[in-house]
């Protein structure tokens, strides 16, 4: 094992994060190679910097003018667009994202967390976490209504076992089933991923439910189990009802228990409507982690990024940072988008209420981009194909029992017709 990896492991040994490190995670380190030496040279090489494999002229990267010319003159330098991004992302962007994370989650203000490391989108974050903290044969606990990429990442890529529990009970989040699934896992290290607002259902726990989730996880930790909680906050902020928990689960767990290690995966993707930029973030916390241990986790994460994508998108980071620093309409545009999504949410609810069908039952939803139907024992794939072939309507089948609608991509005036046609198609197929 590399000496740098050994040093990081020694720092982490005995911490709440250490028991979860996979064999790959234990071997991981951020090399003092080209990237690290180049970063050092940026600070000290005042005469000549001959470290980075990047062609420059007069201090700026050589570039294609046909690309540079699409950017408004005077806003960006070539280095903002064509340079490699630093390992872990642009430092100013990382700092602003953390400030915003605390602003949106005020209870984090006095809690110790790692820095927010930039990733190539939330999928990349989850894949990195699977690499660092999951070995073949490990068990991941998760609700039975989940984003299908989890199966690809954790099961197919890492060889883990997925252990599901029923998402809903009595119209709300099934906390008891979650706790039972964790307690019945044989290992003393248990791993769970929770995604709120949820994809595919569009559900976020209420304040009361979120408190019960935190209490249940603390009970599991009190039993002696070490608990890793991965918070997938991809759709954070898209809340449409007053009783929804507005802070991330990460905020409540950051100092909840010495045996709870929590990871926050979030992104500018949906929060700031920059889907194609592929800018995500990962942040660590635990009551059992000190600053040195958090820094060690950051270095292992940087190593995992270095040996996969090397570093993340520079133009997207520069454009997002410029919008944060200099944009005049960021708050207005985000508020307008949230208002539009809220209107579509209410119209979808109204349209569904007009149909009384035993064939399709809407799962509870109150947030995010989606809602989903339980196809009540019928094939969701059959309905998906029928809607596509006969009506030209695209939907998503989840595990052949759930039909997901992304109402975020359908105009307000079309939502009632969309819902009517879906119910009509179900009647034509199964009545």
Average pLDDT, the chain: 93
What does residue 354 show for φ and ψ, rounded to 5 degrees? -80, -5
> Mean per-residue pLDDT for 59-88?
84
Per-residue pLDDT tens digits for 102-156: 999 999 999 999 999 999 999 999 999 999 999 999 999 999 999 989 999 999 9
Q: What is the pLDDT of residue 54?
A: 64
Q: What is the pLDDT of residue 71?
A: 83
Query: Which residue in this structure is represented by tokens 């954790």?
Result: 154
Per-residue pLDDT tens digits for 82-109: 998 988 999 999 999 999 999 999 999 9
**Rounded Cα–Cα distance for residues 119 and 276 (Å):** 13
Q: Cβ neighbours of residue 264 under 8 Å, at least 6 residues apart?
A: 101, 231, 233, 248, 250, 281, 282, 283, 284, 285
Q: What is the pLDDT of residue 52?
A: 63
> Mean per-residue pLDDT for 344-368?
96
**Rounded Cα–Cα distance for residues 289 and 309 (Å):** 28
Contact 159, 137 (CB under 8 A): yes
Q: What is the pLDDT of residue 251?
A: 98
**Rounded Cα–Cα distance for residues 12 and 69 (Å):** 48
Phi-psi region of 89 (alpha: psi -120 to 50; beta: other; left: phi over 0): left
> Dihedral sign, CA of 43, 49, 50, 54?
positive
pLDDT over threshold 70, residue 50? no
Q: Kindly report the pTM of this predicted structure.
A: 0.92
Domain annotation for the chain: domains and CATH numbers: 3-30+85-326 (3.40.640.10), 330-430 (3.90.1150.10)
34 confidence band (pLDDT: 50, 70, 90): low
Q: What is the pLDDT of residue 114?
A: 98
Per-residue pLDDT tens digits for 165-223: 999 999 999 999 999 999 999 999 999 999 999 999 999 999 999 999 999 999 999 99
> Mean per-residue pLDDT for 49-63?
69
Q: Which two tokens stand for residue 38?
A: 């180049």
pLDDT over threshold 80, residue 39? no
Burial of 405 from C-beta contacts in 10 A (0-12 / 13-18 / 19+): buried
> Mean per-residue pLDDT for 416-431?
96
């Amino acid at each position: 094992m590399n000496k740098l990896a050994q040093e990081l492991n020694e720092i982490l040994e005995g911490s709440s994060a250490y028991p979860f490190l996979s064999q790959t995670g234990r071997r991981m380190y951020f090399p003092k190679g080209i990237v690290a030496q180049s970063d050092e040279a940026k600070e000290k090489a005042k005469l000549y910097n001959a470290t980075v494999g990047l062609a420059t002229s007069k201090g700026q990267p050589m570039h294609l003018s046909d690309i540079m010319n699409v950017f408004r003159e005077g806003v960006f330098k070539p280095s903002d667009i064509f340079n490699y991004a630093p390992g872990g992302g642009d430092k100013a962007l990382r700092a602003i994202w953390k400030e915003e994370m605390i602003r949106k989650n005020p209870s984090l203000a006095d809690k110790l967390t790692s820095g927010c490391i930039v990733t190539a989108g939330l999928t990349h974050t989850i894949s990195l976490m699977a690499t660092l903290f999951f070995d073949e044969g490990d068990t991941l606990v998760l609700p039975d209504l989940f984003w299908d990429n989890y199966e690809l990442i954790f099961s197919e890529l890492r060889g883990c076992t997925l252990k599901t529990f029923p998402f809903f009970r009595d119209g709300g989040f099934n906390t008891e089933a979650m706790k039972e699934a964790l307690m019945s896992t044989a290992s003393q290290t248990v791993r769970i991923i929770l995604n709120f607002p949820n994809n595919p259902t569009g559900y976020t726990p209420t304040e009361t439910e979120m408190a019960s989730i935190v209490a249940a996880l603390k009970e599991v930790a009190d039993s002696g189990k070490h608990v890793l909680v991965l918070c997938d906050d991809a759709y954070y902020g898209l809340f449409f009802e007053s009783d929804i928990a507005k802070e991330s689960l990460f905020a409540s767990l950051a100092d909840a228990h010495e045996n709870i290690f929590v990871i926050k995966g979030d992104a500018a993707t949906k929060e700031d409507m920059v889907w194609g930029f592929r800018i995500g973030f990962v942040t660590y916390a635990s009551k059992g982690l000190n600053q040195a241990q958090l820094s060690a986790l950051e270095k292992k994460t940087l190593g995992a990024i270095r040996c996969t994508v090397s570093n993340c998108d520079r133009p997207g980071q520069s454009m997002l940072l410029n919008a944060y620093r200099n944009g005049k309409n960021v708050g207005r545009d985000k508020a307008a988008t949230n208002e539009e999504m809220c209107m579509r949410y209410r119209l979808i609810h109204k349209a569904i209420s007009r149909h009384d069908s035993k064939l399709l039952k809407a799962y509870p939803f109150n947030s995010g981009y989606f809602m989903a139907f339980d196809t009540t024992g019928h094939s969701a794939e059959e309905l998906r194909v029928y809607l596509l072939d006969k009506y030209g309507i695209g939907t998503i089948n989840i595990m052949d029992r759930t039909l997901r609608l992304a109402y975020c991509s359908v105009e307000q005036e079309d939502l009632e017709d969309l819902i009517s046609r879906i119910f009509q198609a179900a009647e034509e197929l199964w009545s």
